[in-house]
Each structure stands twice: as structure tokens, then as C-alpha cells.
Structure 1
Amino acid sequence: MTLEWEQVIVDAADPVALGRWWAEALGWVTVNDAPGEYEIRPAPDRIPGLLFVPVPESKTVKNRLHLDFRPDDQRAEVDRLLALGARHADVGQGEQTWVTPADPEGNEFCVLSSRKG
């Protein structure tokens, strides 16, 4: 048996707004913009993608699964994400080499230290 990773599902109060935010943050394209299933991918024919779906409840605790990103320039990327509407998150990580922002709905993710040349 083989499995192919298709997408990560993200619960959202506003799937369209959150999906658009992530598309801009990642430079990805929208492949489905329905209010009940907003999907973005690196390119139309590339997977995995992120699929944003509506849920009635709001986020209440730290995510049990999160995404890590390795940028070329950590400081520049964190500044860019904050300017887009992310905020710093404290999940008890203390001082680390990575930065933990949260998206506009509070989902934490990590921006790792800059890629080595």
C-alpha cells in the first residue's frame, strides 16, 4: 500500500480569510475558493496543500500539530509575517533559535533559524 500526502486540514472561523492570509504568506495559489473548502497549494498541480474548513468553535489551546518553515532570512520573514497580520505566540518555548508566530486565527507555527549558505 502507498499513501500520498494530499493536504493538511486547518479548522477556521473564516476559511476564506485565513486561506487568503496563508496564500499570501506562503506565495501559494488558490485552487478552490469555496466558503466551505478553501484550498491553497504551492502550484495548481503540486501537493501537499492546505485546506481550510469552517468550524463553529474557536481555538482554545496550543495546536497539537504545527508547521515549521525554514527561511533564507529569519528576521525578514518574521517581520513580513507580522506585517501581514501574524502575532508573536508564547507556547512556553522560552528562548530558542526559532520564532513562534500565530496566524490571524491563533494557529501557531515556527519560523526556524535562517538557512545556512
Structure 2
Amino acid sequence: MVPGPFASIGLPGLPVIGISGLTSKSSSSCAAAKGSVSLELTVAGAPITAPDTPGYEVDLGLAGRLVVNEQIPVEGADKGLTVNAVHLTTLAGVDVVIGSSTSSAHDCA
């Protein structure tokens, strides 16, 4: 059983999203940028197993998009990565990120 969420997102037209045990990690060197996410996630009270795969999407129907382990390169860095643990967007214009980390390496020769 998933423990009670430390964050809960409830919006009209979407199932309630619960998040606990969240960590977002990003590390960068001149050789590589890496990221990972660990969390316990529920949607409408049901546990969701999210693999540690960048850009994993959880189906919320047409009204919203939930991405777990969103990884975005850092602009202007030789190597860099922003890792958003949970990123929710909706057709109504809601844009929520919970748990984010960024790292970058510059002046790599």
C-alpha cells in the first residue's frame, strides 16, 4: 500500500493525483548528463508503477497530460539536464511541476 501523499493534486475533470517518497536527481559532467526519479504515485487512489524511463506518460484521458521523469537539456550548457519528477499540464492551461533538479557543465574542452 502506498503511504499518504505528501502532495495531492485535485483539479476538476481530472482524477486526484497523489505523490509521496519523491526524489529527483540530475548530475552533469563534461562527459554526460544523467537524471533519475524515484516516487510513489497514485491516480484516483490506484497505485501507478512508473518505470525509471525518461518521459514516462500516465494516461489521464483527454483533459490532461502527466509526465513522470521528464528530462530536458539545459540550454547553453555543454552538458546539462533538468529533471522534472512530475509534470502535469491540462487543456485548461494548468502547468504544475513537482520535484525538479537541474545540473550543468560548462567550459568543457
Query: Shorter-chain TM-score: which interval?
Result: under 0.3
- Is the strand fraction higher in 1 or 2? 2
- Is the helix fraction higher in 1 or 2? 1
Taking structure 2 as the reference length, the TM-score comes to: 0.27
Taking structure 1 as the reference length, the TM-score comes to: 0.26
